[in-house]
A and B are shown apart, each in its own frame.
Chain A
Amino acid sequence: ETGVTQSPTHLIKTRGQQVTLRCSSQSGHNTVSWYQQALGQGPQFIFQYYREEENGRGNFPPRFSGLQFPNYSSELNVNALELDDSALYLCASSLVGGLGPSPLHFGNGTRLTVT
């Protein structure tokens, strides 16, 4: 069973730039969620994708956008980067339609630093 993988592991960008983070879901999973974890905080929900459509969004501005592809991989795009966007970005996958609730399985994250 292949787990959730994310790339790159680390990234440094300049304020105002754009960034794309990538995620491959765990095999057999059909939903993907993205979370932002600032230093000393718990992960905060950005959005979830199911069947290639956004299926819920947290309190993040529109410059945070995403995509889910037919193979259930996903991208997180952030435009007009701000210093406060510096954080660990976590991707998580789960299975909708299985028997009972499906816990999220997380990747190791991408550490984004905005200077």
Chain B
Amino acid sequence: DQQVKQNSPSLSVQEGRISILNCDYTNSMFDYFLWYKKYPAEGPTFLISISSIKDKNEDGRFTVFLNKSAKHLSLHIVPSQPGDSAVYFCAASLMNYGGSQGNLIFGKGTKLSVKP
């Protein structure tokens, strides 16, 4: 039973446009959410996070939105660049787990392709 779901295996966007990646979760106890980006032959790279007390967090071109009532979060990339082409993973955790986010529950990922 997947607790974190990324229902779109792939997404293709034109350079300069907005990329929107979606993620749904089932456990209402999750209180910390993260997005990671992964290139082939590399480990996941942390992008941006949000705690459940917020509904939006911005960092440059990346914005994460959290809708707790819908148990849904999304990552917006504006403007999209070819270098953003990668697999994006959504992850969730309980913030007080051992004081760190060791036990992250990951979705299966969405492969983003940004075309020049």
Contact = CB atoms under 8 A, between A and B. Distances in A.
A70 interface: no
B82 interface: no
Interface string B88-116: 01010001011111111111110000000
For B36, B101, B109, the residue with the greatest tally of chain A CB atoms inside 10 Å of its CB is: B101
Nearest to B38: A106
Contacts of B104: 35, 43, 45, 104
B44 A106 contact: yes
- Chain A interface category by residue count: 20 to 34
B100 A43 contact: no
A104 B101 contact: yes
B101 A56 contact: no
Given A42-B89, A42-B107, A45-B104, A106 B98 contact: no
Contacts of A73: none
Interface residues of B, number: 28
A102 interface: yes
Interface string B31-52: 0101010000111111001010
B108 A104 contact: no
Contacts, number: 79
Given A40-B108, A42-B106, A50-B98, A104 B46 contact: yes
A58 B89 contact: no
Interface in A7-51: 31, 33, 35, 40-45, 48, 50
A62 interface: no
B108 A97 contact: no
Contacts of A40: 108
A45 B105 contact: yes
B106 A104 contact: no
Interface of A: 4, 31, 33, 35, 40-45, 48, 50, 55-56, 58, 90, 92, 94-97, 101-109
